[in-house]
């Protein structure tokens, strides 16, 4: 057991009811365990954040920026250690774990810059009516609960933690019970930097811990990234307190390939969109819409590319794709393989779990998948790609938008005017044109429809943790 919870500037052992087993998914074996935080410890963490709020919100922009730059620097200094932990606990190939670490560093550095600009955001507001003056203040929203998922630990927490601290909020962070170790680096860095006690608190646990945090009446805001089923519970908890929420939820995203594309380039974009992080991405482009004129050339090459991917243990092999991160996710993906067989779907590649230690599945391609198939409509969260053909631009847009989700999409076409036109017509929060899923901290992240509420990253990520106050004065 470890001192795995960071509350009021101190490391403490968990006193909850759940023992959390931390696994190596490439072996299917545990390598660490910790006790969850109790409901009382969640309460202590929220109270610590509440007590720290007055001083932290008064801290100068330069002070907050210095701490954020300290986080970026310390993450960089621990680069190899954190990359290795991502590989071991998530099953990520090295190149993916490296990008995750770089993204977290860039996020803290970016919000350090924005924090320094905050004084410029307080401005006078011109009024049409005479005899009055008005000014705007941007204030921290207060104490925020941050609940993050297991597929991109370190990164999703950086996306929330950095802007919250930049805005002057204090936080209680709950990592996923599947990957609870890497976020402890944030508490260790806070210690090293001398971050005031209570500004950052970390509590680990399962559903009981998450429910205690999301329902706590000491929070001023909740920010959650995860499944739609849990997100709806978080939203219900928030509604009882009438508190604001940011929800980044699921996706069933489309990649649209027009027949003027270079086949090999299109295959590269398609494979990256469905096999990065073994498809365990809310943004996975798991619905392939391919135009009739290119389909017969593209699908066989896509099949070959998926079959040629090196799947294995990233700690011992050079791989393109690692295992699924948890046994629960492995069983879920396996159940979709069974559903595909029951539905009689045509499988060009994969469609099976791999007969080896750990939680491995094969990169998978089904073609001519009906629009009412569960595999076409439901988020699988694995390297499972479903393909359909289309004839016209209008058909492609209609099929891409026919989803209860609206997170991202990719458009592939050498006709850039058409690509831009299609991008504008897609009902999603982020579109890539002729690209892999490159995410930059300066851009926004979030979706429409069932994919969530609000935006992260960019200035929008900062504003999510700010409250607008107007001060109006009579000049008479």
Write down the pLDDT at residue 2.
Answer: 66
Same domain (yes/no): 222, 260: no
Phi-psi region of 154 (alpha: psi -120 to 50; beta: other; left: phi over 0): left
Q: Which of these, 48, 39, 66, 40, lies nearest to 6 by C-alpha position?
A: 48
Work out the percent of the chain whose per-residue pLDDT is above 90: 95
Cβ–Cβ < 8 Å for 110, 136: no
- What is the arithmetic mean of pLDDT over 36-59? 97
Flag whether 92 is in a domain: yes
339 in the same domain as 217: no
Model confidence pLDDT, tens digit, residues 433-475: 999 999 999 999 999 999 999 999 999 999 999 999 999 999 9
Q: Whole-angstrom Cα distance, residue 92 to residue 361?
A: 14
Q: What is the C-alpha to C-alpha distance for residues 187 and 202, in angstroms, rounded to an integer? A: 7
What pLDDT digit, counting tens, does each position of 193-213 carry? Answer: 999 999 999 999 999 999 999
Look at residue 406 and tell me whether its pLDDT is greater than 90: yes
On whether both 236 and 177 belong to a single domain, the answer is yes
Alpha helices in 155-262 (DSSP H): 155-167, 184-193, 207-214, 228-241
Q: Kindly indicate the confidence band of residue 121, based on its pLDDT and cuts at 50, 70 and 90.
A: confident
18 found inside a domain: yes
Q: Quick check: is 445 in a domain?
A: no
Are 237 and 260 found together in one domain? no
- Write down the pLDDT at residue 300: 98
Q: Are residues 23 and 76 in the same domain?
A: yes
Q: Dihedral (C-alpha) 284, 429, 245, 282: value to the nearest 10 degrees?
A: 0
DSSP reduced 3-state for 6: strand
Q: Identify the CATH number of the domain in which residue 84 sits.
A: 3.40.605.10
CA pair distance 303, 301, nearest whole angstrom: 5
Is 407 a domain residue? yes
Asked if residue 358 and residue 281 are part of one domain, the reply reads yes
| Residue 212 shares a structural domain with residue 114 | yes
Examine the domain organization and report whether 227 and 297 are in the same domain: no
- Give residue-wise pLDDT tens across range 258-293: 999 999 999 999 999 999 999 999 999 999 999 999
Instruction: Judge contact between 445 and 248, C-beta under 8 A.
Output: yes
Copy the structure tokens of residue 288: 């392939």
Residue 446 lies in a domain: no
- Determine, yes or no, domain membership for 428: yes
Q: Are residues 430 and 307 in the same domain?
A: yes
Note the pLDDT of residue 46: 98
Range of the domain at 123: 5-249+451-474
Same domain, 410 and 282: yes
Residues 175 and 274 in one domain: no
Site of tokens 């730059």: 69
260 within domain boundaries: yes
Number of separate domains in the chain = 2
Report the run of H or E that residue 57 belongs to, with start and end. Answer: helix 39-58
Shared-domain flag, residues 244 and 373: no
Residues 58-81 pLDDT 10s: 999 999 999 999 999 999 999 999
Catalytic residues: 248, 282
CATH number, domain at 270?
3.40.309.10
């Amino acid at each position: 057991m470890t001192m795995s919870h960071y509350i009021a500037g101190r490391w403490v052992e968990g006193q909850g009811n759940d023992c959390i087993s931390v696994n190596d998914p490439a072996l299917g074996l545990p390598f660490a365990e910790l006790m969850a935080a109790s409901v009382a410890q969640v309460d202590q963490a929220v109270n610590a954040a509440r007590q720290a709020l007055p001083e932290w919100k008064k801290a100068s922009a330069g002070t907050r920026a210095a701490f954020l730059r300290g986080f970026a620097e310390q993450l960089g200094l621990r680069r190899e250690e954190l990359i290795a932990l991502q590989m071991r606990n998530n099953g990520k190939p090295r190149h993916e774990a490296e990008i995750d670490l770089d993204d977290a560093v860039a996020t803290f550095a970016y919000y350090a810059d924005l924090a320094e600009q905050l004084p410029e955001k307080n401005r006078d507001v011109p009024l049409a009516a005479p005899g009055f003056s008005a000014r705007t203040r941007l204030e921290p929203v207060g104490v925020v609960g941050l609940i993050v998922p297991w597929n991109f630990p370190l990164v999703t927490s950086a996306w929330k933690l950095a802007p919250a601290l930049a805005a002057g909020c204090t936080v209680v962070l709950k990592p996923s019970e599947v990957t609870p170790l890497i976020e402890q680096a944030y508490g260790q860095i806070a210690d090293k930097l001398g971050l005031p006690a209570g500004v950052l608190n970390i509590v680990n646990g399962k559903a009981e811990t998450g429910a205690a945090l999301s329902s706590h009446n000491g929070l001023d805001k909740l920010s959650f990234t995860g499944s739609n089923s849990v997100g709806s519970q978080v939203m219900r908890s928030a509604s009882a307190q009438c508190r604001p929420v940011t929800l980044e939820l699921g996706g069933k995203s489309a990649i649209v390939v027009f027949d003027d594309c270079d086949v090999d380039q299109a295959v590269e974009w398609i494979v990256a969109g469905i096999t990065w992080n073994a498809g365990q991405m809310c943004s996975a482009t798991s619905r392939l819409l391919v135009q009739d004129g290119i389909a017969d050339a593209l699908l066989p090459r896509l099949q070959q590319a998926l079959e040629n991917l090196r799947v294995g243990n990233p700690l011992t092999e050079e791989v393109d794709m690692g295992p699924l991160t948890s046994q629960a996710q492995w069983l879920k993906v396996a159940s979709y393989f069974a559903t595909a067989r029951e539905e009689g779907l045509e499988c060009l590649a994969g469609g099976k779990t791999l007969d080896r230690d750990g939680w491995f599945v094969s990169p998978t391609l089904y073609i001519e998948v009906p629009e009412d198939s569960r595999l076409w409509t439901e988020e699988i969260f694995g390297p499972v790609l479903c393909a359909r053909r289309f004839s016209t631009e209008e058909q492609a847009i209609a099929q891409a938008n026919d989803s209860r989700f609206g997170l991202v999409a990719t458009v592939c076409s050498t006709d850039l005017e058409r690509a831009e036109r299609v991008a504008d017509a897609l009902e999603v929060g982020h579109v890539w044109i002729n690209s892999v899923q490159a995410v930059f901290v300066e851009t926004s992240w979030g979706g429409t429809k069932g994919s969530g509420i609000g935006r992260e990253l960019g200035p929008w990520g900062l504003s999510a943790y700010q409250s607008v106050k107007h001060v109006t004065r009579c000049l008479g």
